[in-house]
Amino acid sequence: MDRQYVTVVRQVLDGLRFPAQRWQVITQGEIYGADRVTMAKLHELPVRLYVNCDDVTAEILTTRRLGRTVAMPIVVDARQMATRPLDARARP
């Protein structure tokens, strides 16, 4: 099963220039169109600089073995906030 992760991650990160930050690894996954499971694994990566693809895959395998999880930030779309009607109680 671990080899499957390594193969998929290598395919996803094929065009990425290293060293790369976590956000760049995740963005490459989005550009590639990686599946949900792979994207979840990329989001679990710790925030740091990754030297190469082997570094990323080693971290994914380590994270999986240790059962670590990383909190995901909540992203709010400003466009939704601007068009959302105000609650009558919140008005001055």
For 14-38, what is the mean pLDDT?
96
Give residue limits of the domains in the chain: 2-90
Higher pLDDT, 29 or 83: 29
Structure confidence at residue 48 (pLDDT): 96
For 31-43, what is the mean pLDDT?
94
Q: Give the separation between CA 76 and CA 70, rounded to whole angstroms.
A: 19
Among candidate residues 36, 39, 37, the one with its CA nearest the CA of residue 27 = 39
